[in-house]
Amino acid sequence: MHIVYPLVVSALLFSIGIYGVLARRNAILVLMSVELMLNAVNLNLVAFDVWFADRLHSGQVFTLFIIVIAAAELGVGLAIVLAVFRNRRSVEIDRLQDLAEPPGPGEEPEPDAAQELEETRS
């Protein structure tokens, strides 16, 4: 088996995961794309384990560890998504803008605060 084949498959899966994380709006779809990226890493680890013929099987053992960590991450992530849904009735991540700057093209962001900051500095 040429090691290039699993490595190329894994690279393609990883970039598909990147596309999903960046382009999707629903938080659960973003979590799915993160799982795709983790699986790409797993395929890499198994391929290198086979290539090195490691006697300790570090590649395959690390793959098992990553599967466990991915399960834990998904549990906590889904709990956070459900908490957000309970509070906001929406899981669309580009509409959760409570911490963002208020939109407004010509509006200066809070001139009073900026003045006070300058006064305290001088």
Burial string for 25-64 (b: 16+ CB within 10 Å, else e) reads eebeebbebbbbbbbbbbbbbbbbbeeeeeeeeebeebbe
Q: How far is CA 96 from the centre of its chain?
A: 16
Q: Residue 111 CB, nearest distance to another protein (Å)?
A: 30
Q: Least CB distance from residue 67 to another protein, whole Å?
A: 5
Q: Please, what is the minimum distance in Å from the beta carbon of residue 97 to another protein?
A: 12
Nearer to another protein, 71 or 114 (CB): 71
Residue 3 CA from chain centroid, whole number:
27
Residues within the interface to another protein (CB under 8 A): 1-9, 11-20, 22-26, 28-29, 31-33, 35-36, 39, 42-43, 46-47, 49-51, 53, 56-58, 60-61, 63-65, 67-76, 78-83, 85-86, 91-94
